[in-house]
């Protein structure tokens, strides 16, 4: 158990809908990262937050947005969902003060868009 929690574990919804994925980082970790993993692709970095502020942006679609709250939990919002958005969404957290600043991953949310 990495100490990173994600909810929900599974989510099934229809095209055009909007969903929110939630992540709680490990205790003390200030950085949160979101990744998308599809069957035919590797882990794609979406976005990083550090202590409430956006730090880096990857291949995140305009239909997707995220935020990190004062208690450091983060939410990833996916809107106008398409079939191709079906994937595993992982959150990871890290402690920039640690010597390695390793990213630890949560169990993921499996999103199915029908």
> Which residues contribute to the site for other proteins (CB under 8 A)?
2, 4, 31, 33, 41-45, 48, 50, 55-56, 58, 88, 90, 94, 96, 100-108, 110
Contacts of residue 7, defined as CB under 8 A and 6 or more positions apart, other chains included, come to 21, 22, 109
Q: Residue 22 or residue 55: which is nearer to other proteins going by CB? A: 55
Nearer to other proteins, 82 or 101 (CB): 101
Instruction: Give one DSSP letter per residue of 32-86, joined into a string.
Output: EEEEEE-TTS-EEEEEEEETTEEEEE-S--TTEEEEE-TTS-EEEEE-S--GGG-
Q: Which is nearer to other proteins, 14 or 98 (CB)?
A: 98
Shortest Cβ distance from residue 114 to other proteins (Å)?
A: 19
Q: From CA 3, how far away is CA 57, in angstroms rounded?
A: 24
CB 78, min distance to other proteins, A? 19
């Amino acid at each position: 158990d990495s100490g990173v929690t994600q909810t929900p574990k599974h989510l099934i919804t229809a095209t055009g809908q909007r969903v929110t994925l939630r992540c709680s980082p490990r205790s003390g970790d200030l950085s949160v990262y979101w990744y998308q993993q599809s069957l035919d692709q590797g882990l794609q970095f979406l976005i990083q937050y550090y202590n409430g502020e956006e730090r880096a942006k990857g291949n995140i679609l305009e239909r997707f947005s995220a935020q990190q709250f004062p208690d450091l939990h983060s939410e990833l919002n996916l809107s106008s969902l398409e079939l191709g958005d079906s994937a595993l969404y992982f959150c990871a957290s890290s402690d920039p003060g640690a010597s390695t600043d390793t990213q630890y991953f949560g169990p993921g949310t499996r999103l199915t868009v029908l």
